[in-house]
Amino acid sequence: MKILVPIKRVVDYNVKVRVKSDNTDVDLSNLKMSINPFCEIAVEEAVRLKEAGVASEVIAVSIGEKACQEQIRTALALGADRGIQIETDAQPQPLAIAKMLAKVVDAEQPQIVLMGKQTIDGDNNQTGQMLAALTNMPQGTFASEVKVDGDKVEVTREVDGGLVTVALNLPAVITTDLRLNEPRYASLPNIMKAKRKPIAVQTPEELGVEISNSLDVLKVEEPAARSAGVMVESVDELIEKLRTTAKVI
Amino acid sequence: MTILVIAEHNNDALKTDTHKVVAAAAAIGGDIDVLVAGANCGAVAEQAAKLTGVSKVLVADNACYEHQLAENLGLLVADLGKGYSHILAAASTTGKNFLPRSAALLDVAQISDIIRVDSADTFARPFYAGNAIATVKSNDSIKVITVRTSAFDSVEETGSASVESIDNAQDAGISSYVRSELTVSERPELGSARVIISGGRGMQNGDNFKMLEEVADKLGAGVGASRAAVDAGFVPNDMQVGQTGKIVAPELYVAVGISGAIQHLAGMKDSKVIVAINKDPEAPIFQVADFGLEADLFEAIPELNSKL
């Protein structure tokens, strides 16, 4: 079976972003960019399914400016077979992204779409669910275990009270939680090999999707800063402060 | 304007998340209907009818909604939602699961995790792990929204709304429930706890979390954990507080042996009072803590326990 893995180029998770002084957006100039951590886990899971003989081909797809080819190359170095870049300088919101991915699903007919549960920039946690709705596929969100069994897949999901396992008919969309696996590092020979793997470039127009975002960002601000606290010398002083100053115990 | 709130429940009882989502709906203004979708969930509907400000409770009581599978619930909410100006659910794992599906079926955007209502079409939400707050205006005819429940106060239970059964159940037939393994705890749920005490990698192992549990019992607190503690296998992952775990805002948050990575701060920095106990004076957690104690937790926690 084919597995499609949508990935996103985002600011590296260790970077603390700053808001632009004109409050229009966060300032991403000259920041380190990486593959979104949840997407990396999706790539790893797809490659593991290929190594286990379940999947025959892993296709990485990313939507964005030319630079997102770097992240597709990363996925290829981790074991994906080929890449698709949908090139646009616009910043599509999750619904538009899901519409473009739905077109790729139409063309490629994967049995599983494996993707991150959220990106660490937008923190939306929507795209996988929206793609599943648009393609009428079942969804296994926040997956911590994936088992393919014939024409079904069993997905163990991380939910608020613990774990829930669901069985989904294939084809299905699965979104990854952090505990699904530990992504591997790309070795130098694999990075070199990845340079020769093909990346097909398409445009939203070729897919027949018009990027129209219905949410306008009016303003981006820094969150309210917490006022500096005090250091206490002892447990006694701590208890005393919590009782009398903060009055929380 | 009429707002549809999707109730958060376990078929037996309404969760307090719903009280907070109704508060967010009240801030938008307009009539508020609550949808209770489940199986044998009559008791939940009665509870929902008591929520202040609710005018009508709709009950979809059908076996296909028992486990709130996104495929079935997503269809129901998209179908029912066509008649509403706003559709709101808690930004819980249930709400995050089905609501984007409904939004896509309605061909509208979803606004995730709102922390403030500015007007009927303008909302504030954090992104970049809470390092920036965006004010977002929706141009869609139906506003589909998940609510960060820690940002809103619960509504009272003084109402007496009418309860109406609806009967348009559709089983999408593409997914099924297999089993669940829920963590059993007598302590308050993290989302609604007034006090939370959390441990990090500094706890060294799962057994040492007993020390935190003893303190938690004295304070009536919930016990949380950092991702490092969960990944190291000390405690189950539903205890994780952070960008990828639960987002909490208790009155008192005690971080024990937690360095304070961006990911963790995203889940707790809106707590009213933050206490950090850490032996590393350079730990970033001290920059957000109201009270910091530089000490070895293996000495400080037993002492704290004995003196409370």
Query: Across the interface, do B237 and A125 touch by the CB < 8 Å criterion?
Result: no
Cα B83 → chain centroid: 26
Query: Across the interface, do A167 and B176 touch by the CB < 8 Å criterion?
Result: yes
Instruction: Read off the pLDDT of each residue in B277-306 and give the average, rounded to a whole number.
Output: 97
Q: B108 CB near a chain A CB, below 8 Å?
A: yes
pLDDT for res A246: 83
pLDDT for res B183: 85
Closest-CA distance of chain A to residue B134, Å: 4
Three-state SS string across B95-154, please? Answer: HHHHHHHHHHHCCCCEEEEECEEEECCEEEEEECCCCEEEEEEECCCCEEEEECHHHCCC
For B34, B50, B143, the CA distances from B111, given in Å and listed in that order, are 19, 27, 8
Side-chain half-sphere of B191: how many Cα atoms within 13 Å? 23
For testing the chain A interface, which of B17, B67, B71, B181 should be mutated: the one with the most A CBs within 10 Å?
B71
Q: A40 CB near a chain B CB, below 8 Å?
A: no
Structure tokens at B63: 């076996």
Q: Please tell me whether the overall predicted TM-score, pTM, comes out greater than 0.90 for this model.
A: yes
Measure the CA dihedral A145/A150/A151/A152, to 10°.
-30
**B14 vs B9: CA distance, rounded Å:** 4
- Residue A134's H or E segment, with its range, is helix A127-134
Show residues of chain A in contact with B271, CB under 8 Å.
none
Using alpha carbons, select from B235, B237, B153 the residue that is nearest to residue B192: B153
For testing the chain A interface, which of B18, B145, B174, B269 should be mutated: the one with the most A CBs within 10 Å?
B174
pLDDT for res B213: 96
Residue A240 has pLDDT above 80, yes or no: yes
pLDDT for res A248: 82
Q: B123 CB near a chain A CB, below 8 Å?
A: no
Instruction: Please count the other Cβ atoms lying within 10 Å of the Cβ belonging to residue A40.
Output: 22
Nearest-5° Cα angle at A39, A73 to B72? 140
pLDDT in tens, A90-130: 999 999 999 999 999 999 999 999 999 999 999 999 999 99
Q: Edge-to-edge strands of the sheet including A162-169? A: A199-202, A82-87, A57-64, A2-7, A112-116, A172-176, A139-149, A152-159, A162-169, B175-182
**B49 vs A203: CA distance, rounded Å:** 50
Residue A222 has pLDDT above 90, yes or no: yes
Q: pLDDT exceeding 90 applies to what percent of chain A?
A: 94
Structure tokens at B268: 């707790």
Q: What is the ipTM of this complex?
A: 0.95
Which residues on adjacent β-strands are paired with residue B275? Answer: B254, B291
User: DSSP labels for A208-235?
Assistant: T------EEEEEEEPPPPPPP-EEESSH
Interface of B with A in 170-229 (CB under 8 A): 172, 174-183, 191, 195, 219, 227
| Runs of H (alpha helix) within chain B | 16-28, 42-49, 70-81, 93-105, 209-219, 227-231, 262-268, 297-307
Please report, in angstroms and rounded to a whole number, the separation of the first and last CA atoms in chain B. Answer: 51
CB nearest B177 (choices: A123, A141, A166): A166
Query: Across the interface, do A167 and B101 touch by the CB < 8 Å criterion?
Result: no
For testing the chain A interface, which of B183, B252, B291, B296 should be mutated: the one with the most A CBs within 10 Å?
B291
For testing the chain A interface, which of B11, B97, B149 should be mutated: the one with the most A CBs within 10 Å?
B97
Residue A19 has pLDDT above 90, yes or no: yes
Closest-CA distance of chain A to residue B50, Å: 25
Residue A228 has pLDDT above 80, yes or no: no
Instruction: Please enumerate in sequence order all residues whose Cβ is within 8 A of that of B275, keeping only pairs 6 or more positions apart, or say none.
Output: A238, A242, B252, B253, B254, B255, B289, B290, B291, B292, B293
pLDDT in tens, B134-147: 999 999 999 999 99
Residue type, A194: A
pLDDT for res A227: 76
pLDDT for res B191: 85
Closest-CA distance of chain A to residue B281, Å: 10
Closest-CA distance of chain B to residue A231, Å: 5
**B188: preceding bond cis by omega (within 30 degrees):** no
- B61: pLDDT confidence band, cut at 50, 70 and 90? very high
Residue B186 has pLDDT above 90, yes or no: no
Interface of B with A in 35-74 (CB under 8 A): 67, 69-71, 74
Side-chain half-sphere of B159: how many Cα atoms within 13 Å? 23
pLDDT in tens, A134-161: 999 999 999 999 999 999 999 999 999 8
For A7, A103, B129, B160, B256, the CA distances from B265, given in Å and listed in that order, are 25, 38, 8, 40, 13
Which residues on adjacent β-strands are paired with residue A163? Answer: A158, B181
**B213 vs B196: CA distance, rounded Å:** 10
- A249: pLDDT confidence band, cut at 50, 70 and 90? confident
Residue B198 has pLDDT above 80, yes or no: yes
Structure tokens at B95: 């709400």
- B185: pLDDT confidence band, cut at 50, 70 and 90? confident
pLDDT in tens, B234-257: 999 999 999 989 999 999 999 999
Q: pLDDT exceeding 70 applies to what percent of chain B?
A: 100
- A78: pLDDT confidence band, cut at 50, 70 and 90? very high
Residue B192 has pLDDT above 90, yes or no: no
Q: B1 CB near a chain A CB, below 8 Å?
A: no
Q: A199 CB near a chain B CB, below 8 Å?
A: no
pLDDT for res A33: 97
Interface of A with B in 132-191 (CB under 8 A): 132-134, 136-139, 141-142, 144, 154, 157-169, 177-179
Closest-CA distance of chain A to residue B159, Å: 28
Structure tokens at B157: 């239970």
Residue B103 has pLDDT above 80, yes or no: yes
Instruction: Please enumerate in sequence order all residues whose Cβ is within 8 A of that of A36, keeping only pairs 6 or more positions apart, or say none.
Output: A7, A8, A9, A10, A116, A119, A120, A121
pLDDT for res A245: 85
Q: pLDDT exceeding 90 applies to what percent of chain B?
A: 95
Which is it for the CA torsion A81, A86, A92, A97, positive or negative?
A: negative
